[in-house]
């Protein structure tokens, strides 16, 4: 199949980490937050049930977000840079759609050659001292069904594909997207069973032959 609009999740898809879990580990809450994240990604309960709670517990300041931004890049999944270089050279419209924190994802997107306008994630705010001051509660990506909303806003008559590891990525099907499940970092049964195509390849290069 051939697609003109290609959308990628970030956590456990473009990078081997789950950003919110790494922030939690940094403040000694790793196990507790990882359980909440995994349950949401496996579809055990709605994303909005854990989103605000996780951030309130972690209380991430600007320094921790900058640290996470570097970690996203250092833990990039094999083949990602080559995939983005290939797609952008072909003139494809490439987007990142993530429930992660936008300021932490933007440097990775820049490294991959994407403009900020093609990064759809949740904004987080800081006060003048760099302390955590909340997140964008209006963002659709902080709640269940949000990725379908974002995809619907991107989708025209052009064929669109969503590539990701979690249940939230499957939501793109509601907006008419083709979904490629990526289990190379985390192999989730619900994604394996409901994706249009699924791979546990450790490199993302496999997607080129399918998109």
Q: How far apart are the first and last CA of the chain?
A: 6
Residues 6+ apart with CB under 8 A from 118: 93, 94, 95, 96, 109
Show which residues are catalytic: 9, 11
Q: Tokens standing for 180?
A: 């490629």
Residues 6+ apart with CB under 8 A from 117: none
Q: Tokens standing for 58?
A: 């972690």
* Alpha helices for the chain (secondary structure H): 19-26, 30-41, 48-58, 62-74, 80-89, 102-111, 146-154, 167-170, 189-194
CA distance 169 to 155: 15
Q: What is the DSSP letter of 173?
A: G
How many whole angstroms from its chain centre is CA 19?
A: 9
Residue 124: how many CA atoms within 13 Å on its side-chain side?
Answer: 27
């Amino acid at each position: 199949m051939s697609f003109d609009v290609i959308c990628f999740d970030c956590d456990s898809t473009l990078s081997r980490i789950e950003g919110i879990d790494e922030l939690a580990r940094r403040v000694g809450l790793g196990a507790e937050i990882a359980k909440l994240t995994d349950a949401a990604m496996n579809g055990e309960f709605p994303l909005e049930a854990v989103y605000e709670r996780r951030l309130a517990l972690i209380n991430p300041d600007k320094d921790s977000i900058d640290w996470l931004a570097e970690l996203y890049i250092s833990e990039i999944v094999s083949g990602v840079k080559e995939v983005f270089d290939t797609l952008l050279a072909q003139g494809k419209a490439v987007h990142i759609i993530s429930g992660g924190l936008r300021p932490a994802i933007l440097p990775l997107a820049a490294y991959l050659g994407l403009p900020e306008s093609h990064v759809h994630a949740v904004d987080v705010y800081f006060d003048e001292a760099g302390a955590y001051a909340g997140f964008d509660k209006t963002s659709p990506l902080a709640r269940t069904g949000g990725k379908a909303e974002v995809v619907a806003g991107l989708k025209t008559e052009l064929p669109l594909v969503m590539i990701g590891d979690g249940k939230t990525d499957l939501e793109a099907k509601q907006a008419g997207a083709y979904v490629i499940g990526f289990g190379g970092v985390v192999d989730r049964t619900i994604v394996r069973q409901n994706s249009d195509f699924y791979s546990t390849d450790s490199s993302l290069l496999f997607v080129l032959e399918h998109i």
